[in-house]
Amino acid sequence: MALSGAALLLLATAALFLRYGAEAAASSKVCVVGSGIGGSSVAHFLKHYTCAKSAEVPCMDDIRILERSRRVGGRMATVTIGGDTFEAGASIIHPKNRHALGFARLLNLNTKTEDDSDYDPKSNVSSSSSWFGIWDGSRFVFQTLPPPSSSSSALYRKMYPLLNSLVIFWRYGISLIRMNRFVKEMVEKFLLYYTNLETRPVFETVEEMLKWSGLYGLTRRTLHEELVDAGMSSRLISELVTVITRINYGQDVSISGLAGTVSLAGSDSGLWSVDGGNWQLAAGLIGHTNATLHLHEEIDSISYTGGYYELNSTKGNSYTCEVTVIATPLDELNITFIPPVSVPSRRLQHTFTTFVRGLLNPKYFGLNSASEIPDLVGTLELPDIPFSCVSVLKKYNEEDMTYKMFSRAPLDDSLLDSIFSKRKETIRIDWAAYPHYEAPEVFAPIVLDGAHLYYINSFENAASTIETSAVAAENVARLIISRVSALSSDASIVMPPISAEEVLHTDL
């Protein structure tokens, strides 16, 4: 390589300010590849931090988002089956995910918590997340209590959640308390990423970012190693924890510790989602930012030529950009980089999501009636079980339900015909879902070329969620602002102060 990173950066920055403000239509200050939560959040934070009245840097509102799909949202998407719409990708958000919560408030989106759907007296439709069973391929090794029926006493209805907790505690004992404490400690550290801008550094690498919060160590070892050291029983690990990591990341407890702990936090209470679909977070942010959005525009080459980036699409369009942000995993893409960039190879875990309107076959589970099958069936890490989980999304009546299944391989018709006794409609989605987590994790750079090519999804090797994408995007936005302005003036960057009542950082 002829030019050092610093020289490249100087060149890029010089070009940036020469070109700023006087460009033809196809030229932008910032181009973002991908319109998922990462791409939409980086656009939002760039504008939010630079266009406020008190900001001392030029307003960066010239943002172009390129999206290969015909819709925004990426892995936040809905599916419609039997006339009803459900989350097909990212479905639940943790109550302490402050960016997601802030976005929902900023955009006036209605949210619903999991508990809302437990009992809906206005319709016959019910879905209960608390009746779950653990299937080992031939029997349920454990299950919680079935939900109260219409004939149950008021007392039983009231006591049901408590009784269920007791049933779980009876099986897993004190290890459950240790697990909750372990998850809580991780969440506490993660909350550091919301602390104010004066005390929170801008990070140039994922390693630095994780070390600062104290979470890096968890990416070095497997979840299994971490949980054993924290005193959890082998029964808890091989049953409940395994079921949860299989549901959330399609992998077992050999997953790296941070991703595993994040996945355990996904079984906390108070989980929520956006009414009508989480994809509206991305759509809303893009609208709010007033970014220029190109749908059905797949970028296949990114060339760095004389101080700016040229992004070419498969449609033959060409966009020049001063800053380029990659907001999608590069692992299964064929984007040609000129000059080439080096990203450590990473395997993605594919999660096959199968929606079925019909009825599960009780015989498959060795039962007499479908009503004896728990609403959520999780599975152990055993070779012959063809799916990770199956759950009821909606109960129309005792004979007619909509289910969602996750599996590591596609489920063919003959297999589905053995698992279901009735199958009116089936929809299959193959997600390149998240990284295949392996400790110790290796992280791609955030700055891919030493200049102004940024990669948000390098953070996905820590964990993959809506919130972690937003947190990684917020850091990338600050990194862009500080690197663009650092060489443009001697004064160091001053961003607008974040007040306590600021929408993005309001507490619950």
Ligand X SMILES: Cc1cc2nc3c(=O)[nH]c(=O)nc-3n(C[C@H](O)[C@H](O)[C@H](O)COP(=O)(O)OP(=O)(O)OC[C@H]3O[C@@H](n4cnc5c(N)ncnc54)[C@H](O)[C@@H]3O)c2cc1C
Judge whether 239 and 380 are in contact, CB under 8 Å. yes
Based on the shown chain and the rule CB under 6 A, indicate whether residue 397 belongs to the binding site for ligand NAG: yes
Q: Which residue, 176 or 335, is less far from ligand X as judged by CB?
A: 335
Separation CA 418–CA 397 (nearest Å): 21
Closest approach of ligand X to the CB of residue 38, in Å: 3
Beta bridge partners of 297: none
For position 433 contacting ligand X by CB under 6 A, the verdict is yes
Backbone angles phi, psi at 465, to 5 degrees: -150, 170
Which entry of ligand X, ligand NAG, none binds 66, CB below 5 to 8 A by partner kind?
ligand X
Q: How far apart are CA 494 and CA 233, in angstroms?
A: 50
Here's the x/- map for ligand NAG, 325-344, by CB under 6 A: it reads as -------xxx---x------
Classify the phi-psi angles of 418: left when phi > 0, otherwise alpha if psi is within -120 to 50, otherwise beta.
alpha
305 contacts ligand NAG (rule: CB under 6 A): no
Instruction: Give yes or no for a contact between 171 and 164, defined as CB atoms under 8 angstroms apart.
Output: no
Scored b (16 or more CB within 10 A) or e, 316-350 reads eeebbbbbbbbbbbbbebebebeeebebeebebbb
Question: How many residues sit close enough to ligand X to count as binding (CB under 6 A)?
Answer: 35
- Tell me how far the alpha carbon of residue 458 is from its chain's centroid: 13
Contact indicator for 416, 405 with CB cutoff of 8 Å: no
| Least distance to ligand NAG, CB of residue 400, Å | 10
Q: Does 260 bind ligand X (CB under 6 A)?
A: no
CA 359 centroid distance within chain = 30
Could you say which of 152, 303, 421, 426 contacts ligand NAG (CB under 6 A)?
303
Using the rule CB under 6 A, which residue among 69, 126, 164, 312 binds ligand NAG? 312
- Does 265 interact with ligand X (rule: CB under 6 A)? no
Name which of ligand X, ligand NAG, none residue 69 binds, using a CB cut-off of 5 to 8 Å depending on partner kind: ligand X
Please report, as a single letter, which amino acid is at residue 272: W
Least spacing, CB of residue 28 vs ligand X, in Å: 15
CB atoms within 10 A of CB 130: 19
- Under rule CB under 6 A, residue 371 binds ligand NAG: no
Provide the β-strand partners of residue 427. 355
- Which two tokens mark 322? 């001063």
Pairing of strands 389-397, 376-379: antiparallel
> Taking contact as CB under 6 A, which single stretch among the options 72-80, 164-172, 183-191, 218-226 is the one that binds ligand X?
72-80
Do 35 and 261 touch, CB atoms closer than 8 A? no
Query: Is residue 69 involved in binding ligand NAG (CB under 6 A)?
Result: no
Give the residue, chosen from 234, 318, 371, 418, that forms a contact with ligand NAG under the rule CB under 6 A: 318
126 binds, among ligand NAG, ligand X, none (CB under 5 to 8 A by kind): none
Enter the tokens of residue 450.
Answer: 């030493």
Q: Which does 312 bind (CB under 5 to 8 A by kind): ligand NAG, ligand X, none?
A: ligand NAG
Site string for ligand NAG, 70-109 (x = CB under 6 A): ----------------------------------------
Among 239, 252, 310, 375, binds ligand NAG (CB under 6 A): 310
Binding partner at 38 among ligand NAG, ligand X, none, C-beta below 5 to 8 Å by kind = ligand X
Q: Please select the residue that binds ligand X; options are 78, 353, 361, 391, rule is CB under 6 A.
A: 353
**Contact predicate 42/446, CB 8 Å:** no
- Residue number with CB closer to ligand NAG (74 or 378): 74
Structure-block tokens of residue 194: 């919301």
Our finding on whether 44 is near ligand X (CB under 6 A) is no
Stretch that binds ligand X, among 9-17, 23-31, 32-40, 201-209 (CB under 6 A): 32-40
Judged by beta carbon distances under 5 to 8 A according to partner kind, the member of ligand X, ligand NAG, none in contact with residue 301 is ligand NAG
Toward ligand NAG, which CB reaches closer, 61 or 208?
A: 61
CB distance 476 to 454 below 8 Å = yes
User: Tokens standing for 295?
Assistant: 């749908």
- 315 versus 424: smaller Cβ distance to ligand NAG: 315
Q: Which does 238 bind (CB under 5 to 8 A by kind): ligand X, ligand NAG, none?
A: none
- The single residue among 28, 55, 62, 89 that binds ligand X, judged by CB under 6 A, is 89
Furthest-apart CA atoms within the chain: distance in Å:
78
The verdict on 34 binding ligand X (CB under 6 A) reads yes
**What CA–CA distances, in Å, run from 267 to 255, 369, 477, 503?**
17, 28, 30, 26
For residue 169, give the H/E element and its range.
Answer: helix 154-172
Q: Where are the alpha helices (DSSP H) in 305-434?
A: 413-419
CA–CA gap between residue 43 and residue 32 (Å, rounded): 8
Q: Are 187 and 98 in contact (CB under 8 A)?
A: no
Which one of ligand X, ligand NAG, none interacts with residue 92, CB within 5 to 8 A by kind?
ligand X
Report the site for ligand X in 460-499 (rule: CB under 6 A): 464-466, 469
Does 398 sit near ligand NAG (CB under 6 A)?
Answer: no
Contact by Cβ (8 Å): 133, 144:
yes
Residue 76 in the binding site for ligand X (CB under 6 A): yes
Q: Which positions touch ligand X (CB under 6 A)?
A: 33-39, 66-69, 74-76, 89-93, 298-299, 327-328, 333, 335, 351, 353, 431, 433-434, 457, 464-466, 469
- Residue ranges that bind ligand NAG, judged by CB under 6 A: 123-124, 290, 292, 301, 303, 310, 312, 318, 332-334, 338, 397
